[in-house]
Amino acid sequence: MLTKGKVGETYTIGGHGEKCNIDVVTKICDLLEQMQLKKPNGIQNFTQLIRFVVDRPGHDVHYAIDPSKITNELGWKPKEDFDSGMKKTIEWYLKNEAWWRAILDGSYHGERLGTIE
């Protein structure tokens, strides 16, 4: 976008991979299984941790964007597909536990942490 995009234009970045929420959650569980992570007591499979809630007005079943403009006009394509991107995301969270634990316990206040790899 910086080198080929038009000033003032809006481009939606995405991977052409619309998924239902349950498919995303199931994929996360499958990846956690593949990584052979320790499970909480009494859990045989990470999918047992999935809990369904009563839908509320405005609650989305899935999320979708149309990234065709950035692909057609600028030739942009993602380097990752859904599976590889999700795996890398989970690995990042596993390597940066101190960061997300600080969010949960309230000690993180928006300061920038981490390194660029």
Tens-place pLDDT, residues 19-50: 888 889 999 999 999 998 888 888 999 999 99
pLDDT for residue 26: 95
Tell me, yes or no, whether 34 lies in a domain. yes
Per-residue pLDDT of the chain (117 residues; tens, 9 = 90+): 888 889 999 988 888 878 888 889 999 999 999 998 888 888 999 999 998 877 766 666 777 788 999 999 999 999 999 999 999 999 999 999 988 888 889 887 777 766 665
Query: Residue 1: inside a domain, yes or no?
Result: no
Give the model's pLDDT for residue 90: 95
In the prediction, which pLDDT does 116 show? 63
How many folded domains does the chain comprise? 1
| Domain membership flag for residue 115 | no
pTM of the model: 0.74
Q: Which domain holds residue 87?
A: 19-51+61-105
> Which three-class secondary structure string do you get for the chain?
CCCCCCCCCCCCCCCCCCEEHHHHHHHHHHHHHHCCCCCCCCCCCHHHHCCCCCCCCCCCCEECCCCHHHHHHHCCCCCCCHHHHHHHHHHHHHHCHHHHHHHHHCCCCCCCCCCCC
In a domain, 9, yes or no: no
pLDDT at 58: 64
